[in-house]
Structure 1
Amino acid sequence: MSALLAVRGLAKSVPGLRQLFAGLDLAVGAGELVAIVGESGVGKSTLLNIIAGLDEADAGEVRIAGDLLGPLDEAARTRLRRERIGFVFQAFHILPYLTLRQNVGLPVALVSPDPVAANARAEAMLARVGLGDRGDGYARDLSGGELQRVAIARALVHRPALILADEPTGNLDPDTAARVLALFADAVREGGAAAVIVTHSEATAAVADRVLTLTPHGLVETHG
């Protein structure tokens, strides 16, 4: 089975300072959840941004569902992100002036002219994360754990090939984080997406199928 995410020979340096990483290879298949760990400043978030086409690598290539990222112009990269990638951020990024239904349905609304379809998909995803009765509510009424569930629903609603999560439970208490991570992992595997989490948390990494440590020489399999 071919990988939904395929990264080969990736290299990135901080201009005038140091090399972050080089020779980085990564393949993630459908329904697979990979955690990338490493010290602060090693380049975990930079790697995620390169995979998403938000930053440029110095060398190497990224393929998402078979599409080579490098040759795409910014408009094509934007379309790819909208159609193929779901994001889960540490800071949630839930828009306060939209209802939860509108927030979750936004990725569908960006690629489909049918608002009924967007609302229906949003309702279904909110129900899946246990917030089916909160669609008309706003972010100000939710706890941190509920906001993160909304963020997960938004990341999954358009059935992306790839899900990227940057410290998705960094603002949550341990019990809430464990529930959110279990929900996230189940949704990824059931939906057949490829998922990459970057984190410094051992508890977050523990839900992954594989844990890789980011080093200046690429990714190293973490054991035990």
Structure 2
Amino acid sequence: MAHPVLLTVRALAKSVPGPRSLFHALDLEVAAGEIVAITGESGVGKSTLLNILAGLDDADTGEVAIEGVVLGALGETARTRLRRERIGFVFQAFHILPYLTLRQNVALPLALVSADGAAAQAEAEAMLVAVGLGGRGEGYARDLSGGELQRVAIARALVHRPALILADEPTGNLDPETASRVLTLFANAARDRGAAAVMVTHSDATAAIADRVLTLTADGLVARAR
């Protein structure tokens, strides 16, 4: 049975001051449970594309729809709400808040949608267990290695069961062994939860976990042979 398409991108174009076109005529569909890796040269616009998919930046033309909802048709408040409820973002620099415990960091997406406090903490603890950090919820970021921080970031991105997971160089700061463990965790969690996942990476090892690998060019996305 075919899985439903959760992310639809049509005729997307984006330029930067110069003026310089990053890409145009970009089309993409990602289904539930599917992981897509996007590669490309530095400066081609991979992180910009992720920000557009997340509603953090606007394209010049074209549209992005998540579960059929077109981001460009939403006002800023509605777009922020959709981002909080339906998108999980794994940042390259982790962005774990140092003054919050690990459990509080993971529970933050639930707090932003006004989830019950006790239930949010319980769900955050369950996610920490899932990423191999059970019993560490009262700790702080300063006590963690880079790999552990990345696992917390993944737990936070998944805790509210988003429809779309976006990841920017999810293993960029990790040694190969830790990167392999983090990628397996990321892939299993995305597929088990039926999320559509898009990650940008320079790493062939990272791209290898994806169902599809696409290269971002000025003319859009080009499928890469596996």
Does the TM-score normalized on the shorter chain lie above 0.5? yes
* Aligned residue type for 2:157: A
* CA deviation vs aligned residue, 1:74-125 (integer Å, no higher than 9, x gap): 1111101100000101111000000000000000111124101110110110
Q: Is the 8 A contact 1:188 1:194 kept in 2?
A: yes
1:56 paired to 2:64: no
- In the alignment, what sits opposite 2:23? 21
Whole-Å separation in 2 of the counterparts to 1:89 and 1:146? 14
Query: TM-score normalised to the size of structure 2?
Result: 0.97
Q: 2:189 aligns with which of 179, 187, 190?
A: 187
- In the alignment, what sits opposite 1:118? 120
Q: Is the 8 A contact 1:123 1:135 kept in 2?
A: yes
- In the alignment, what sits opposite 2:88? 86
- In the alignment, what sits opposite 2:166? 164
Whole-Å separation in 2 of the counterparts to 1:92 and 1:15? 28
Q: 1:103 aligns with which of 73, 86, 105?
A: 105
Whole-Å separation in 1 of the counterparts to 2:26 and 2:5? 16
Query: TM-score normalised to the size of structure 1?
Result: 0.98
SS of equivalent to 2:25: strand
- In the alignment, what sits opposite 1:139? 141
SS of equivalent to 1:90: coil
1:46 paired to 2:45: no
Whole-Å separation in 2 of the counterparts to 1:149 and 1:111? 22
SS of equivalent to 1:81: helix
Whole-Å separation in 2 of the counterparts to 1:135 and 1:23? 45
* Aligned residue type for 1:40: S
1:75 paired to 2:77: yes
* Aligned residue type for 2:168: D
Whole-Å separation in 2 of the counterparts to 1:223 and 1:113? 43
> Residues 210 and 113 of structure 1: is their aligned pair in 2 closer, same or farther, counting only changes over 3 Å?
closer
Q: Is the 8 A contact 1:112 1:118 kept in 2?
A: no
Identity of aligned residues (%): 78
- In the alignment, what sits opposite 2:37? 35
Whole-Å separation in 2 of the counterparts to 1:60 and 1:78? 20
SS of equivalent to 2:47: helix
- In the alignment, what sits opposite 1:203? 205
* CA deviation vs aligned residue, 1:115-141 (integer Å, no higher than 9, x gap): 011101101100100111101100000
- In the alignment, what sits opposite 2:223? 221
* Aligned residue type for 1:106: L
* Aligned residue type for 1:114: D
Q: Is the 8 A contact 1:63 1:69 kept in 2?
A: yes
- In the alignment, what sits opposite 1:154? 156
Whole-Å separation in 1 of the counterparts to 2:70 and 2:51? 15
* CA deviation vs aligned residue, 1:36-89 (integer Å, no higher than 9, x gap): 000000000000011111111011000011111001111111101100000101
